[in-house]
C-alpha cells in the first residue's frame, strides 16, 4: 500500500499521478443517513492529463476548483472519459468541454452528439482494447463487469495499475464516523457488505433478479487479470488494498442480491 495516508478529504492523491476529486452526497435508507460519492479522478501523464467522470451537476463548482489547483504546472487536460451517460457520471460533461477547449470526450458516444452538437467534433468512440497515451502511462478501455447502462465501459491506468469501475464497487459510508475523504481500508468501522447491499437496493435494482455470484467471480477475475493495485469507484471510498477489501465487496454483492428489493417487497434491506 503506497498511497499517502496523512491527509484526509478531496482532492487526495490515490496513487502516483492519480487524484481523487469530488464530494459526498447524502442518502437516507433504513432509518440511517449514509454518504456516498459521485467521484471523479484526474490521471496525469508526462504529456497530457485525463479526467475520469465529471461528478454530479451540483459538484461542478467544487470540481472545477479542484482541477484548477491540481493542473497548475502539470500537462494540460486533453481527455475526458465518462463510464456512462447517467447524470452522476456525466453531469458536468458539457461544462468541461466548454471550459477546456482542447479536451476530447472518449468512451461510448451514444447520444452525446445530440445533447452537445457543438462539441460533436471533439468526441472519440472507444471500446474494449482501445487506449489513450498520456505520456509515460496509458489509459485503457476495459470490460465493464457491472453495467449501469448498456453503454458502460470501465477504464484502467497501466502505470499505477488503477481500475476505474464506475458503478462497480459502489457503496456508502458513515459520515458520523468520519469516513468522508478516507480510503476504504482507513474506514475501520465501515460495514462494507451492509453498505454495498444498501447501494445496490437503491441504484442497481437488477441485482435482485440475477445470480450475482457470476458477476462477483468475473469481477475477481478482472482485478487479477489486470493486476489492479488500486480501485477507484465513482460511488465508494477508493480501495488501496484490494486483497483486504475485495472479499467484503463480494460478500456485499452476494448478500444484496439475496434480500427483497425494498421498492416492491414488504421490508427494507437490512444487514444480516
> What number is the average pLDDT over the span 33-55?
90
Span 17-24, mean pLDDT?
90
**Statement: residue 28 has pLDDT above 90:** no
**What is the C-alpha end-to-end distance of the chain, expressed in Å?**
30
Q: Does the domain at residues 12-256 carry the CATH identifier 3.60.15.10?
A: yes
Dist. CA 268–CA 37, nearest whole Å? 22
Burial of 268 (0-12, 13-18, 19+ CB in 10 A): middle
Label residue 95 by pLDDT band (50, 70, 90): very high
| Residue of 260, 257, 255 lying closest to 272 (CA atoms) | 255
pLDDT of amino acid 251: 83
What contacts 253, CB < 8 A, 6 or more positions away?
196, 200, 207, 212, 215, 216, 219
Task: Over range 173-179, report the average pLDDT.
Answer: 71
Specify the pTM: 0.86
Q: How far is CA 206 from CA 173, 199, 229, 257, in A?
A: 22, 12, 28, 9
State mean pLDDT over 201-212.
71
The answer, yes or no, to whether residue 272 has pLDDT greater than 70, is no
CA 24 to chain centre: 13
Q: Is the pLDDT of residue 86 over 90?
A: no
The C-alpha atoms of residue 10 and residue 66 are separated, in whole angstroms, by 8
What letter would DSSP give residue 119?
G
Tell me the pLDDT tens digit for each residue of 184-193: 888 888 777 7
Return mean pLDDT, the chain.
Answer: 85
- Cα→Cα distances 213→46, 173, 250, Å: 40, 24, 8
All three cell numbers of 76, joined, read: 494540460
The whole-angstrom separation of Cα 53 and Cα 166 is 8
Residue 192: the pLDDT is 75
CB contact at 8 A, 91 and 55: yes
What pLDDT, in 10s, does the model give residues 208-238? 777 878 888 999 999 999 999 999 998 888 9
Query: For residues 176-194, b (16+ Cβ closer than 10 Å) or e, as one string?
Result: eeebbbbbbbbbeebbbbb
Q: What percent of the chain has pLDDT over 70?
A: 81
DSSP bridge pairs for 81: 52, 106
C-alpha cell at 215: 458477476
Amino acid at each position: 500500500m503506497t498511497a499517502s495516508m496523512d491527509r484526509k478529504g478531496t482532492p487526495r492523491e490515490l496513487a502516483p499521478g492519480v487524484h481523487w476529486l469530488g464530494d459526498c452526497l447524502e442518502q437516507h435508507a433504513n432509518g440511517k443517513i449514509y454518504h456516498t460519492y459521485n467521484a471523479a479522478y484526474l490521471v496525469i501523464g508526462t504529456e497530457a492529463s485525463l479526467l475520469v467522470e465529471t461528478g454530479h451537476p451540483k459538484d461542478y463548482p467544487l470540481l472545477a476548483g479542484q482541477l484548477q489547483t491540481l493542473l497548475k504546472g502539470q500537462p494540460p487536460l486533453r481527455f475526458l472519459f465518462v463510464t456512462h451517460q447517467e447524470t452522476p457520471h456525466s453531469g458536468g460533461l458539457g461544462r468541461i468541454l466548454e471550459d477546456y477547449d482542447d479536451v476530447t470526450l472518449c468512451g461510448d458516444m451514444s447520444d452525446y452528439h445530440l445533447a452537445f452538437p457543438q462539441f460533436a467534433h471533439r468526441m472519440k468512440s472507444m471500446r474494449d482494447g482501445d487506449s489513450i497515451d498520456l505520456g509515460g502511462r496509458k489509459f485503457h478501455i476495459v470490460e465493464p463487469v457491472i453495467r449501469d447502462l448498456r453503454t458502460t465501459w470501465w477504464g484502467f491506468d497501466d502505470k499505477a495499475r488503477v481500475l476505474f469501475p464506475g458503478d462497480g464497487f459502489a457503496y456508502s459510508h458513515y459520515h458520523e464516523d468520519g469516513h468522508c475523504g478516507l480510503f476504504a481500508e482507513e474506514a475501520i468501522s465501515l460495514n462494507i457488505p451492509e453498505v454495498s447491499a444498501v447501494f445496490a437496493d437503491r441504484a442497481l435494482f437488477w441485482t435482485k433478479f440475477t445470480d450475482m455470484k457470476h458477476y462477483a467471480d468475473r469481477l475477481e477475475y478482472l482485478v487479477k487479470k489486470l493486476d489492479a493495485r488500486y480501485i477507484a469507484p465513482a460511488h465508494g471510498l477508493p480501495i488501496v488494498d484490494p486483497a483486504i477489501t475485495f472479499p467484503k465487496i463480494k460478500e456485499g454483492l452476494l448478500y444484496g442480491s439475496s434480500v427483497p428489493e425494498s421498492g416492491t417487497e414488504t421490508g427494507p434491506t437490512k444487514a444480516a
